[in-house]
Amino acid sequence: MIVTGTVITGDPAQPVVDALVVRDGVVVAVGTADALRAADPDQAVTATGRVILPGLVNAHTHAYSAYARGMAVHSPTRDFPEILANLWWALDRKLEPEDVTLNATTTFLESVRNGVTTVFDHHSSPNAIPGSLGLMAEAAGHVGLRACLCYETSDRDGPWAFAAGVTENVDFMREANTTGQDRVRGMFGLHASFTLSEPSLDAVAEATEGVPGGYHVHVAEGPSDQEHALATFGKRVVDRLAGHGMIGPESIAAHCIHVTPAEIEVLAERRANVVHNPHSNLGNAVGFAPVVEMLRRGIRVGLGTDAYTADMLASMQVAKIVASGHRGDPTVGFGEAVAMLFQHNPALASEVFGTDLGILRPGAAADLITLDYRPPTPLDERSAWGHAVFGMAGAQVVDAMVGGEWIYRDRAFTRLDEAEVLAHSAERAERIWKEM
């Protein structure tokens, strides 16, 4: 199949082309439509006339938060620990297996609608732990996108839930990371330093010995995480986690807001993947991550949404403006934000899934999206990222292809009935809201 349009490839070798050839789920050629047609006259041509981007990657989100949209929180909620206690930890305890499936499905639907074809999720459902990651993997299969899943292990729900979380992660990683498929992966989910004791981290390190895959953990999201680590363990968060082997090239350290230059050095030396979540950080008023410093130190800083939005293009724009505003320098942030979404997220996803993702070049997976974006100025090699940051949005996405299959075509899902899922979710959410 030849797909034509204005293709922004993400590949510096050929940044903008007008066609690509998809065969057996893989991009086999990019170039001009005329040349590709001449080389392969029998191929069917899908002329989108649209802007085509690589399928986007969301490197940190929480499907379990889906029912929170529009829900009222009645208790006083003044800071980050109270946001956790009154909202997220009250909600996740209500979730049953049916909710795990529904939350994952609606989150994945919304992700695809916004152009995300690969999602890294951090899941929690303390009263429905065993099998939860399998249910989410099934939901990902029903929607058609790629998903890297983990269960949020912590001490907060007692030893039984901790042990169940460890087992769920390890079992899922062994299965997902060793079977010959490139749709689902597992990581080991850790909530955060302040909800995991030393014996718990030791137990996790022991349980993950020889298990393929890295850790996905919240790092220094609020100042309280550092205060707790210093007071309880005499160490800062990055040093503590690194000491347990949980900061490394296969692992994701989400947020990294309250980190010192020395901790940035450890993140760089250990080749950690840091994931920045600008909407969430601003909304929770937890501070400003030193993303520019981390990027300049050579750290792979990717971009997530922390479930604040599903729109990675919006996340990229906010990453740009928060970097400019925080540093008081309007010239900072643009290139950094583009690199996070179109360079570092693809690099992370490609390593984790073992196939080229987030880039459209020969040999890469045929994961792409089309946008109904109508540029008022020239859109070419010079201007493509300017259009992406200041003009494009998830709401413009019309189609999504994963592994050569259109899973979303003309704004309709091809594998499942979206309206039915949303109606079921709203019905369940109403019941959960009443209990909150």
**Which single residue brings its beta carbon nearest to Zn ion?**
306
Give the contact letters, 178-217, x = binds to Zn ion (CB under 5 A), - = no: ----------------------------------------
CB 205 within 8 A of CB 237: no
Residue 8: strand pairing partners: 16
Using a 10 angstrom Cβ sphere, with 0-12 exposed, 13-18 middle and 19 or more buried, the burial of residue 59 is buried
Q: How far is the CB of 118 from Zn ion (least distance, A)?
A: 17
Residue among 225 and 306 whose Cβ is closer to Zn ion: 306
168 binds Zn ion (CB under 5 A): no
- Of the pair 27, 253, the CB lying nearest Zn ion is at 253
Task: Give the shortest CB-198-to-Zn ion separation in angstroms.
Answer: 23
Q: Which of residues 256-315 bind Zn ion (CB under 5 A)?
A: 306
Please, which residue, 53 or 150, has the CB nearer to Zn ion?
150
User: Shortest distance, CB of residue 51 to Zn ion, whole angstroms?
Assistant: 30
Give the per-residue SS3 of 144-167: CCEEEECECECCCCHHHHHHHHHH
Closest to 115 (Cα-Cα) out of 403, 402, 394 = 394
* Identity of the residue, 33 or 307, whose beta carbon is nearer to Zn ion in the bound complex: 307
The radius of gyration computed from the CA coordinates of the chain, to the nearest angstrom, equals 21
Of 8 and 275, CB closest to Zn ion: 275
Q: Are 40 and 1 in contact (CB under 8 A)?
A: no
| DSSP label of 417 | -
Residue 104 Cβ vs Zn ion, minimum distance, rounded to whole Å: 16
Total residues binding Zn ion (CB under 5 A)? 1
Residues 309-342 as b or e (16 or more Cβ within 10 Å = b): bbbbbbbbbbbbbbbbebbeeeebbbebbbbbbb
Q: Which is nearer to Zn ion, 168 or 306 (CB)?
A: 306
Q: How far is the CB of 60 from Zn ion (least distance, A)?
A: 6
Provide, rounded to whole angstroms, the least separation between the CB of residue 254 and Zn ion. Answer: 5
Q: What backbone torsions phi and psi does residue 240 show, to the nearest 5 degrees?
A: -65, -50
The footprint of Zn ion (CB under 5 A) covers: 306
